Structure 1
Amino acid sequence: MKKKLILITLLFSFVFSDTPKFGDEQLAIMIKEYFQSSLEAPDLMGYQFYLSKYEQVIQIEIDTKPEDVNNALLFSFKVMSQIANVAKTQFTQSVLVMHFGDQGLPVVASSFLDCSKQFFLDGKIKEDAWRKHCLIIGAE
């Protein structure tokens, strides 16, 4: 029942222009629900919201297989874009930390949310443009 209520709330928030805004505690529940409710979701290891210099950051940490990295990356950045869209906090940057089991260092990817929203929410740019102009990938 709780999952349905959260998903219905998110649906209404995207449909109506007067979007309700949610606090960090509610956002945390939504993140967990996104990852638990989708068969395509990688394993969620954690998340955090923080201020870094002048950027308000939403970060998700996942564990995935190397062969699933593309789907995991797209799924996770889409979730962060959707969450940021309904947040009280004006997040400006999204960070994804990808672990690959015991296979070495994690990979860190980031994107400014205004750019990510153009792809994931508004459909104004295509995936290749998002990857070229918005996505930054590096090892931690």
Structure 2
Amino acid sequence: MKFKIFILINLIAPFLFAAKPKFNDNQIIAMTPHYFERNHSSPELLGVNIYKSRQGRVYQIDIQVDRNRINDDLSFAYSALTNMGQYAKKPIKQLIVVMHSDNYRNPPQVCIGKAKCSIDFWVHEKGEYQSWYKDCIHFKEL
């Protein structure tokens, strides 16, 4: 009997220790600026928030974008949101990037994305960029 328990523990233990760490909202908010600071080509991070809406939990960042690099800045922002958001203790349903232009005549653009779809593309590398852009996100102006 002891041998069976020993075998069972040895079979289950790797799965228990292989689980990803999970962080609360305040920890994720605190870690997000470090994600941006470690890459010299990242857009300027203006703000971070995690909150609950009718659609579920939302992870939002505000960034300052360069009009010549807007697609690169958006891609970096979604990469950051998905890489950080996958470690949330409570699942994130929606990812929002508010892009403030360096041209002050342009209003901020808001990119709203589905978290699962975005995590599948950015973290698990499933699908193509064009499919993610077409199927997972949409834009609106403030």
Identity %: 29
**Matching of residue 123 in structure 1 with residue 119 in structure 2:** no
| Cα deviation code 1:71-119 (max 9, x no counterpart) | 1100001111111111112111000000013232100001111100111
Unmatched 5+ residue regions in structure 1?
A: 1-15
- TM-score normalised over the length of structure 1: 0.85
Partner of 2:45: 44
Partner of 2:114: 112
Partner of 1:74: 75
Larger radius of gyration: 2
**How far apart, CA to CA, are the structure 1 residues paired with 2:65 and 2:110?**
13
- TM-score normalised over the length of structure 2: 0.84
Unmatched 5+ residue regions in structure 2?
A: 1-16
Runs of 4+, deviation exceeding 3 Å: none
| Cα deviation code 1:19-50 (max 9, x no counterpart) | 11011222122211011111121000001001
Q: Does the CA contact (< 8 Å) of 2:29 and 2:50 recur in 1?
A: no
Q: How many residues align?
A: 125
CA RMSD of aligned residues (A): 1.2
**How far apart, CA to CA, are the structure 1 residues paired with 2:76 and 2:96?**
13
